[in-house]
Amino acid sequence: MPAYGDYGPGYIGTRIAYTQGGYETGIVSRVAPKVEQVLTAAMRTLLQADQNKNRAKNKQEEKPEENQNEQRDPGEKKQATLFEVPEIHSSWDDLTDGIDTKADWRKRRSELKKKYLELLRDQHKPEKPPLDLKVHEDVVVDGLYRRQLISYAVESDERAHAYLGIPLKLTGKAPAVVALHGTYEFGKKQAAGLIDNPDKAYLDHLCRRGYVVIAPEHFVSGHRVPPEGPYETGAFYKKHPQWTAVGKFTYEHSIAIDVLQTLDQVDGNRIGALGHSLGGHGTFFLAAYDDRIKASACNCGASFFRHNPRVTAWARDHWYIYFKPIRPGLVKNEMPAIDFHEIIALIAPRAFMDLSGLNDGHGPTQRQRLLMLMKIMEIYELEEVPHNFGFYVHGRGHSVAHESRQLMYGWMDSHLKPPAATETQLVTPKSETASSP
């Protein structure tokens, strides 16, 4: 490209042209070969910004007035825009690169689902056996719900145990939740509120709110702690050398949904999932895997692959090994073919909420989580269900504090219960009585 004028750059060539010689890329060109990269990046940014502006304009034109009774500033439409807000760009943009329509996304989603199943090594899971559901304990808690210790087959030679909670005063089929515990040896007991931290007693909390709840044990905990100790996966990989621990627990959690759907008390179309820590990322792994999960909430789930200096923890060479097959690549700084923003996006248009602490683990990595989540929101906007996505960020570290629990349970209420369950009402004269002097 020629550019003449006083103090102008003269000729601007492509990078390769500067290695080929000639007048244009000689002394009359006053720029370095890397100018091509700088200019193309700038043009890409401008084109992307224009594309995003058109998307925003189209959304604004389609957006109905949310509340006709809302008071507005009379001069609002006359006010001039003082400046343009810069677009936020990050490495997470690859989720929507080349995606302009729902059809584009559906095609990309199909490709991502294949990559996700390959990450799990889902093709190596065993044949699913009959459930053969058994009840080992049966008690009533506070006269409010029945809690049963159950077991069911997950492999031809292996049974999973879980606590099942069923409210006693149901008037019809109820919503249900798969409640996933964290890295704790007696996790299902913890989820039932029998031991340890009652903040994590999801089964007890949710049964009192009218949910049927199953709290399955992780496959290397509880009744199935390996001889080597809790969360040791060595024996698992000897039995299933081609599978992954994440594939195993995700498959088992999907079988827990099968259990729920056998119950007369459960509405099979209103099933959710939630969990903390290991149970947190277990939740979005499950929701991305099984479309029967209609609402999910991840609390303090682990960090993704990119921008994670501790990424090899996903493929350790000892103890709990999430994804053994990807270790050779990770130690050479080769990332898997899919990352968490793409896995979570598979959940759309179904409801998903992420809760995390900025001070939970590596600070810079946790801040990347916000950029990742903002990008996922674009998929929910494209699906025209932005209300089905949310995230909450706090400074309480690796916790399930009161406000986090209320958000998770409220999220389930909003997406699994009838609208009347969450509607507010005005104070009417019928509800008022005169106060006594």
Spans of all domains in the chain:
2-58, 122-417
Phi, psi of 188 (to 5 degrees): -70, -30
Residue 58's pLDDT band (cuts 50, 70, 90): low
Instruction: State percent of the chain over pLDDT 90.
Output: 79
pLDDT score for 205:
98
pLDDT tens profile 279-338? 999 999 999 999 999 999 999 999 999 999 999 999 999 999 999 999 999 999 999 999
pLDDT score for 339:
98
The architecture in CATH of the region 122-417 reads: 3-Layer(aba) Sandwich (3.40)
Q: What average pLDDT does range 166-178 have in this prediction? A: 97
Distance CA 298, CA 107 (A): 26
pLDDT score for 66:
53
Distance CA 221, CA 384 (A): 41
Nearest to 392 by CA among 313, 308, 300: 300
Q: What average pLDDT does range 361-381 have in this prediction? A: 97
Q: What average pLDDT does range 144-149 have in this prediction? A: 98
pLDDT score for 30:
74
Residue 28's pLDDT band (cuts 50, 70, 90): low
pLDDT score for 39:
78
CB atoms within 10 A of CB 209: 16
Q: What average pLDDT does range 360-380 have in this prediction? A: 97
Distance CA 130, CA 124 (A): 19
pLDDT score for 437:
75
Nearest to 356 by CA among 406, 300, 408: 300
Distance CA 138, CA 328 (A): 47
pLDDT score for 61:
53
The mean of the pLDDT values for the chain is 91
- The predicted model scores a pTM of 0.84
pLDDT score for 33:
77
Residue 34's pLDDT band (cuts 50, 70, 90): confident
pLDDT tens profile 402-417? 999 999 999 999 999 9
> What is the DSSP secondary structure assignment for residue 211, as one 8-state letter?
-
Distance CA 358, CA 337 (A): 26
pLDDT score for 83:
86
Distance CA 249, CA 281 (A): 11
pLDDT score for 57:
57
Q: Which H or E element spans position 427? A: none
Task: Assess contact for 214 and 225: CB atoms under 8 A.
Answer: no
Q: What average pLDDT does range 131-159 have in this prediction? A: 98
Residue 42's pLDDT band (cuts 50, 70, 90): confident
Distance CA 23, CA 21 (A): 7
pLDDT score for 13:
78
Q: What average pLDDT does range 194-209 have in this prediction? A: 98
DSSP string, 1-60: -EE-STT--EE---TGGGGT--STTTTTB-S-TTHHHHHHHHHHHHHHHHHHHHHHHHHH
pLDDT score for 86:
92
